[in-house]
Amino acid sequence: MANVVVIGAQWGDEGKGKIVDWLSERADVVVRFQGGHNAGHTLVIGNRTFKLSLLPSGVVRPGKLSVIGNGVVVDPWALIAEIERVRADGVAVTPETLHVAENAALILPVHGAIDRAREAADSGRRIGTTGRGIGPAYEDKVARRAVRVCDLADAGPLRAKVEALLIHHNAQLRGFGAEEIALEPVIEALGAIAPRVLPFARPVWEVLDEARRAGQRLLFEGAQGFMLDVDHGTYPFVTSSNTVAGAAAAGAGFATGGLGFVLGIVKAYTTRVGEGPFPTELTDATGRRLGERGHEFGTVTGRPRRCGWFDAVLVRQAIKVGGIDGIALTKLDVLDGLQAIKVCTAYRLDGQEIRRLPAMAADQARVQPVYETCEGWSESTRGARSWADLPATAIKYIRRVEELIEAPVALLSTSPERDDTILVRDPFAD
């Protein structure tokens, strides 16, 4: 049986939480491999709704091991708060059911302060971050000055590391005219949180290797989406980590040859939160209709998502670069009742038709979508659990999407409910 990597193939918010939860029934271990607590997943299970930010979506499944890999930046206070929140909802989270990579970098209060100061600065360019410190924490990791989970175990060296970190970042805060972060409160807060975090710390690479050798099935869960990848997305309006499937190996300490099937999660239309180019964005009544029917608000931020038609150019690029073997198509029911549905098949730039997103931000902002129109359907697809339950025109739309993105639909989600899912191709059987 293959392992499976799940990544978003648009700008995030594609419905990865539900799909990972659904797949986790077939997995033994669920692994988060990048991002931070800026990535939100909403799970609807019966009459209960779980909103997760840092914990792997599989945490709500009894008997599954959840793992936060070294590629994730971890806010220790947010981690413990989320653990307590899901415990209050009846989910058992213990050091036996949740492992956190001992070499994962920490998000400290100064990172959030820097993040917010940058967004508030009158620089003429906003990225639209969540202000939770994810970007600055990744910067410190790359600059080799990060404080890591394992550092919580030794107060002496920890103090020296935090002091050096604050010297660097307080200079920036002064430049922004923002309040500096004092050393002692941070040291005191870390001293209080350390005993609560350290029981979860493990050499995750070793845990995953043992699971692989034992023949267990691993499910790797990415955050955000391909178009937010720091290298391949709509730079600079991107996240601070790689969101492609290959990041699962580096972000979990797992051999690339064992990753297995790559499943890309794709909405039947397109959404985006925050700043940056969006070629198929709709600012009219249709865009508002998609947002209202799809309940398009960010899980973490609560910000309304920008909505638009399905962009086959972006998804095809994500599939080719991201190594996606098949997609899970979500929120098909949001399109119910539309007489005509448009799909972007190419862009027009300076009078020429192109089939890729250009790298330059200025060109990304100028491209014009080239559409073809598909026939809509009046029947409801919500809750469908087999192809026989779908209108013929809805199936025709799905088939056209497959042709345009050059990848098959492996799963089809027809509502947020766990069981409203049509399995076309089992990723774990590949």
Which residues have a catalytic role annotated? 13, 41
Cis-peptide, bond into residue 157, ω within 30° of zero: no
- Cα dihedral value 383, 387, 392, 396, nearest 10: 100
DSSP secondary structure letters along 69-118: -TTB-B-HHHHHHHHHHHHHTT----TTTEEEETTPBBP-HHHHHHHHHH
Q: Are strands 261-267 and 4-8 parallel, antiparallel or unpaired?
A: parallel
The whole-angstrom separation of Cα 257 and Cα 329 is 26
253: left (phi over 0), alpha (psi -120 to 50) or beta: left
348: β partners: 353, 368
CA-wise closest residue to 273 among 252, 253, 294, 256: 294
Q: Answer whether 306's CB lies under 8 Å from 271's CB.
A: yes
Cβ neighbours for 74, distance < 8 A, ≥ 6 positions apart: 36, 54, 68, 100, 104, 105, 106, 107, 149
CA-to-CA separations, 297 to 13, 144, 218, in angstroms, rounded: 9, 36, 30
The whole-angstrom separation of Cα 160 and Cα 162 is 6
